[in-house]
Amino acid sequence: MGFFTKLLETSRVKSPWIVHFDCGSCNGCDIEILACLTPIYDVERFGILNIGNPKHADILIVSGTVNHRNAKVLRNVYDQMPEPRAVIAIGACGTSGGIFREAYNVVGGVDKVIPVDVYVPGCPAKPEAIIDGVVLALGKLKEQRTAKDTDSLAAELHQAREFYANRADRQVVE
């Protein structure tokens, strides 16, 4: 492994920037995510920044269930993140739909729309668990997935999209 590859890898692990997308959570998980920034947890120690812009971010943290309306937004935010990137689904809602799973407007967990790398369960997920999730996601980032690999990813995406398209006919409110 050359010096630069190594440098790049270290940098990736040392500087994960996060964009947090609230898909329709009850705000319980959101508050826990923001708690990570406080002096008690201080994730900036690890170079983690809550960056608020998918174009700059490496990790997408999604809390809450996906519904028909915000599924498109989620997709768009995901599409605007340059590779390498990772997705973390937070909370019971993010991983599976949680208590809203059977609601008429709900698509389900985040993985119904975009590929998810790490699932952080909990209702709400604890800050420690969230930080742990980010650390797990770093492993994914390290794999240096770039646009070249996205082709293999495309199949995965296609599947998710299919699913979403099939569900779209069930839209009630639009």
Partner 1 sequence: MDIKSIIFVILALIFAPVAGGFLAGIDRRLTAWCQGRFGPPILQPFYDVFKLLGKDRQVVNTWQIFCAHIYLISSMLSLALFAMQSDLLMIFFVMTIGAVFMVIGALSTPSPYSQIGAQRELIQMLTYEPLLVIVFVGIYFVTGSFKISDIVAYDRPIFLILPLLYLVLTFALTIKLRKSPFDISACHHGHQEIVRGVLTEYSGPYLAILEIAHWYDIVLILAICSLFWTTSAIGMFFLLAITYLAEIVIDNITPRLTWKWMLTYVWAVGITLSLFNMALLYAKSF
Partner 2 sequence: MVSQMVWVSIVLPFLAAIGCLIDSKPLRSILVVGTGVAVSLASLLLVQGQAFSLNPETIFGIPADGLIAVLDFALLFVILGISYQLKNKLIAVLTVLQIIPLAFLELFLHGAENTAPSIYGDQLSMIMSLIISIIGSLICIYGLSYMEEHEHHLHVEKSRQGRFFFFMVLFLGAMNGLVFANNLLWLYFFWEVTTLCSFMLIKHDGTDIAVANATRALWMNMLGGVAFILGLVILRAKGLPLALQELISTPGVASLALLPVGLLCFAGFTKSAQVPFQSWLCGAMVAPTPVSALLHSSTMVKAGVYLVIRLAPAFAGTLFSHYVALFGAFTFLTTALLAISQSNGKKILAYSTISNLGMIIACAGINTPAAMAAAILLIVFHAISKGLMFLCVGTIEQRIGSRDIEDMRGLIRIMPRTAMIAVIGMVTMFLPPFGALLSKWMAVEASARLPLVVLMLAIGSAFTMVFWGRWLGLVMTSVMGEAQEPEEQSPLVRVPLVILAAAAIVVSFVAPGLYSAMVLPVLERFYSTDLYIAAQGVFINNIGMFAVFPIFLVMVLGVAWAARASSGKRVHQRAYSTPYVAGLQDPANPQRIGFKGPLGQWANFTTSNYYMDAWIGEGRISGWINLISSGILIILLTGVL
Give contact residues for partner 2 (rule: CB under 8 A).
21, 53-55, 72-77, 79-80, 82, 147, 150, 174
Beta strand pairing call for 118-120 and 86-90? parallel
- Are 18 and 57 in contact by the 8 Å Cβ rule? The answer is yes
Residue type, 14: K
Q: Any bridge partners for residue 50, and if so which?
A: 18
Residue range at the interface with partner 1 (CB under 8 A); choices 55-63, 91-99, 108-116, 156-164: 55-63
Smallest distance from the beta carbon of 92 to ligand SF4, in angstroms?
A: 4
Q: Which of 160, 21, 168, 16 is nearest to 94 (CA)?
A: 21
Chain CA centroid to CA 32, Å: 15
DSSP secondary structure string, 5-74? Answer: HHHHHHHHHH--EEEEEESS--SHHHHHHHHTTSTTT-GGGGT-EE---TTT-SEEEEES-EEHHHHHHH
Interface with partner 1 includes 51 (CB under 8 A)?
A: yes
Considering only residues 90-119, where is the footprint of ligand SF4 by CB under 6 A?
A: 91-93, 98-99
Q: Which stretch binds ligand SF4 (CB under 6 A): 6-14, 21-29, 80-88, 106-114?
A: 21-29
Which range of residues in 13-21, 35-43, 74-82, 86-94 is near ligand SF4 by CB under 6 A? Answer: 86-94
Q: Which of 31, 44, 154, 158 binds partner 1 (CB under 8 A)?
A: 44
Site string (131-150) toward partner 1, x via CB under 8 A: -------------x-xx---
Among 97, 108, 109, 124, binds ligand SF4 (CB under 6 A): 124
45 sits near partner 1 (criterion: CB under 8 A): yes
Look up residue 38 and give its two tokens: 């406080």
Tokens of 95: 């991983």
Q: Which residues contact ligand SF4 (rule: CB under 6 A)?
A: 25-26, 28-29, 63-64, 91-93, 98-99, 123-124
